Amino acid sequence: MWKIWTKEELGKAYNNSLAVNNSAELVRLWVDKSASARKTIKGDLNIPYGSSSRQSFDFFPGGNQSPIVVFIHGGFWQVRSKDDFTFIAPRLLDEGMTVALLGYSLAPEAKMADIVLDVRNGLNKIEKKVRSERGSFPGFYLLGWSAGAHLVASVMDQANVSAGLAISGIYDLEPMRHCYVNDKLQLDSKSSCDYSPILQKNHFGKSIDLFVGSAELPAMQKQTTDFIRYRQSHSQPGEFKLLNGLNHYTIFNELINQDGDILKVLKHRVL
């Protein structure tokens, strides 16, 4: 259906901040909680893997035997920062996980190929840090939200990635190419195809658990339901859950709350 929509109609179908009245307030709360978390939990901040300040990661160790969860943030590949999401780390640390928050270059300075390469390079640098400190490496469990969920699916073929969990993601980039998101992202038909997980098989062979909220925009829900059908049609492992009443922002509650559905699946996978 989206192919018959105008650019404005398509943009509205994917404008999560417009769809949630208090989205700005929720994001400010994330930022405030993240700033507090960085002051209270122990870790190494802004470890570089490239020359740009965004080409860096934060690392919060949970012990030499702990599983390693790498979080990749969202923001339509053009806004937000790893620093906005430190608020997820305390809960995961309390559950016995090591947490890395991975930054990456943003559009329009970076094209999609550059962004995906950043994630790959960042993961390799985190692996080197783990090996140097532990003397061994257990593999990564990737965790991503929104555009970060797309990036999780895009790098599953790396040898250092064991499995992934993707929240409220974009898996077909072609609609992005025809709405306001592309004003900065600058996708063409080839890059849209090459970096759409729903058109690729590089994520096959590993588990990806997929979540989306029932109060999210229908187009966002369809991105996840179409992707899980694609993977299931090829007998790929992973759970799918539609989380009742949650929108693109409140869905994080299911990760940071002790009894949250997302946290339960994450713990089942890594602990």
Short-list 139, 177, 179, CA closest to 159: 139
How far apart (Å, rounded) are the C-alpha atoms in residues 232 and 235? 5
- Using one digit for the tens of pLDDT, what is the confidence trace for 73-91? 999 999 999 999 999 999 9
- HSE of 139 in the Cβ direction (CA atoms, 13 Å)? 13
The pLDDT score that the predictor gives to residue 225 is: 98
The pLDDT score that the predictor gives to residue 2 is: 85
Domain residue limits at 120: 2-270
pLDDT confidence bin for 4, thresholds 50/70/90: confident
How far apart (Å, rounded) are the C-alpha atoms in residues 224 and 229? 9
CATH code of the domain containing 188: 3.40.50.1820
Query: What percentage of residues in the chain have a pLDDT greater than 90?
Result: 99
Q: Let me know: does 57 contact 48? Beta carbons within 8 Å.
A: no
- HSE of 228 in the Cβ direction (CA atoms, 13 Å)? 20
Is the Cα dihedral 112, 16, 250, 39 positive or negative? positive
pLDDT confidence bin for 185, thresholds 50/70/90: very high
Question: How many structural domains are present in the chain?
Answer: 1
Beta bridge partners of 219: none
Is the Cα dihedral 46, 24, 224, 242 positive or negative? positive
The pLDDT score that the predictor gives to residue 3 is: 87
How far apart (Å, rounded) are the C-alpha atoms in residues 5 and 110? 28
pLDDT confidence bin for 250, thresholds 50/70/90: very high
pLDDT confidence bin for 186, thresholds 50/70/90: very high
- Using one digit for the tens of pLDDT, what is the confidence trace for 30-88? 999 999 999 999 999 999 999 999 999 999 999 999 999 999 999 999 999 999 999 99
